[in-house]
Structure 1
């Protein structure tokens, strides 16, 4: 690998210039038709970074979801993990799931910037080694205190991986090229000179750079002043808790429908994630080719979840409820990869991008803290209280998406106007100050 922060395996990129949902304006026009060198360079980066991060992310997701699967293993024999750990109550099991996300949330912003400070090569290796060691330690736990300690340190070890991937990609790709993707270009040995230059030339002027300061106080101030900062956090929090809450207990929810035993229930979680794969490929294609706005796609996914959660509250047929759970889960998992590029595009500068990604993904960990509490087994098997909570939170998400979309469009127009003025060599009073305030 090289030395630079990158974005996620499916999306998220860099802080780039104007545009509404897809970049427009003079800077984008120059980059709209990739050169042969740029296409060749992107193919090499895809092979070198995207494939590797995709594999590591797959392993990470398996390890994160493992504890949800263990919740129902051997229940028929009366020897499940809760019994083995001393007969855990519904509340204690919710805490076992939640404790992982406290250190994860607190350390995420700093761990993201550390990727630039220590280089991806070293920082990602540190994350994987430490999380592997702590994961193995879980196998030796025999009581509630032991599993709680391991889960806490596992969250601390893994903090920064996902936003670090997003941050790393933002050094390589402008946002409109990240719909299928979610070392640093200046020094990457696997690129030729012309390919390196093509990669750098393709990046927006506000993109992160290894030559920039890791910690820039002016960018941090601008980030907090930016009107899109808080609305983006609200989107990530409300969707995280309202949408992702069910994913932490999905095998249990399916098992309690009463249509399968524990072994089959594990397999019945697979269609939801297969659907995520198809949805992301489809939406990624349409947003990548500018046939669909990420904002419209995001609102559509949220509305779909609301509809199916309402159906889960009102319908009693177990088979129908299983289908609704699968579709709602698939829509939930597809939302963040589609919207992440817009979040990163609203930032400006190396420090701003790193902190914005870290803070945004950090507050999202409330989904792991609050979600298991909302979907405790004591609310099953109907989970009407849980589904109703999700409907309320997702409705707030839809409203906030509309507000944020409006604010981002206004920011894009100001940025485009400033770029035109600058290209013409004309200065407008206060324009420079307004542009600086678009930090993140």
Structure 2
């Protein structure tokens, strides 16, 4: 039960304010987090379907245009997920939750090979029709879950007044809130404040350096290796689901040092990416790819809480998350294709 409580709240029991304690609000916070994880899983699964199905379209211009739109849509999912969690939990409680968010995103890719077979053999739907059906179903799931996903503790209806006050008090002083009123001058000031922070540029550099080899792995899994897709992606994605959760859980319970874990994982999967470039052996590349993909997805969950902890206020937190993620995505989108352009 203690481990379950850590998974739900990120901390131990016994923290009381007035007549409310962690044990009373943990189930409700856990349900909110679970519903959000399911919703995030469905969204990423839908986007992975869209990108692959668009490859079947006859018009290359239409396919490229919708592919760009799908990528832009996917790019906003993770920053929004991290920003949403910052309203509800302290930075020291985020590692295990962010690891689950990353893992459910990877788990969405497990469904794709089987759904392709289901679409072709049973439903007999082409790529366009299947895309539309998936979007309708995901939209229905989203609308069904939205009433149960309040923006913040201050606006939640499933918490009573004392519980809302307790959840807000247990957050850090710099946590974002929906009660803040921000003028254009406040937004401009917060933006300049974020850009002046050395930590922002250091974090962006770290995230970008990690995103480059991670994008190389995505390239390999999407067809860089001429192998049956399903047999390669299943072990890689399954390992990418398990390893981040283990690392996030251990760092949340203070068992492992997050910076040492991140450095070790980064070193492993960077060396393996170099091996992917120079090795011509089929079995070595397959095994190393599975190992690298599992370690790559575990770096972000253990580092994001420390980046969020350094953010200040509602606008500062949002800008710190989105700009850091945007730098990483832009760098990987430009540099990673150049690395493998000749492979």
TM-score norm. by structure 2 comes to 0.72
Distance 2:319 2:182 in 1: 10
| 1:34 aligned residue (15, 31, 41) | 15
Report 1 or 2 for greater relative contact order, CA contacts < 8 Å, sequence distance ≥ 6: 1
Q: Which runs of 5+ in 1 are unaligned?
A: 1-10, 12-21, 23-27, 72-80, 85-140, 380-440
| 1:357 aligned residue (316, 321, 326) | 321
Matched, 1:179 2:95: yes
Equivalence for 1:55: 38
Distance 1:227 1:243 in 2: 24
| Deviation (angstroms), 1:66 | 4.0
Moved more, 318-327 or 303-312: 303-312
Question: Cα 1:250–1:235, aligned 2, differ >3 Å: closer, same or farther?
Answer: same
Equivalence for 2:246: 282
Equivalence for 2:179: 211
Equivalence for 2:161: 193
Moved more, 154-163 or 236-245: 154-163
Q: Is the 8 A contact 1:245 1:370 kept in 2?
A: no
1:102-131, Cα deviation, whole Å (9 max, x unpaired): xxxxxxxxxxxxxxxxxxxxxxxxxxxxxx
1:252-277, Cα deviation, whole Å (9 max, x unpaired): 134x2xxx5x3xx3232111121122
Equivalence for 1:113: none
| Deviation (angstroms), 1:237 | 1.4
Distance 1:313 1:247 in 2: 14
C-alpha RMSD of matched pairs (Å) = 2.8
Secondary structure, in 3 states, of the residue corresponding to 1:292?
coil
Q: Is the 8 A contact 1:69 1:266 kept in 2?
A: no
Secondary structure, in 3 states, of the residue corresponding to 2:155?
coil
Equivalence for 2:170: 202
Matched, 1:142 2:58: yes
Matched, 1:43 2:7: no
Matched, 1:240 2:211: yes
- Correspondence 1:244-283 to 2 at 5 A: 244-254=215-225, 256=226, 260=227, 262=228, 265-283=229-247
| 1:374 aligned residue (333, 339, 342) | 339
| Deviation (angstroms), 1:43 | 2.4
Distance 2:13 2:176 in 1: 20
Q: Is the 8 A contact 2:217 2:273 kept in 1?
A: no
Matched, 1:291 2:245: no
Distance 1:314 1:247 in 2: 17
- Correspondence 1:45-194 to 2 at 5 A: 45-48=29-32, 50-66=33-49, 81=55, 141-182=57-98, 183=150, 184-194=152-162
Equivalence for 1:337: 301
TM-score norm. by structure 1 comes to 0.57
Q: Which runs of 5+ in 2 are unaligned?
A: 1-6, 99-149
| Deviation (angstroms), 1:303 | 0.9
| Deviation (angstroms), 1:192 | 2.3
Equivalence for 2:128: none
Moved more, 153-162 or 217-226: 153-162
Q: Which structure would you say has the larger Rg? A: 1
Question: Cα 1:235–1:205, aligned 2, differ >3 Å: closer, same or farther?
Answer: same
Distance 2:198 2:285 in 1: 40
| Deviation (angstroms), 1:331 | 1.2
Equivalence for 2:193: 222
Distance 2:328 2:47 in 1: 15
Equivalence for 1:413: none
Distance 1:66 1:370 in 2: 25
Distance 1:230 1:41 in 2: 37
| Deviation (angstroms), 1:69 | 5.5
1:73-107, Cα deviation, whole Å (9 max, x unpaired): xxxxxxxx5xx6xxxxxxxxxxxxxxxxxxxxxxx
Distance 2:327 2:302 in 1: 18
Q: Is the 8 A contact 1:69 1:251 kept in 2?
A: no
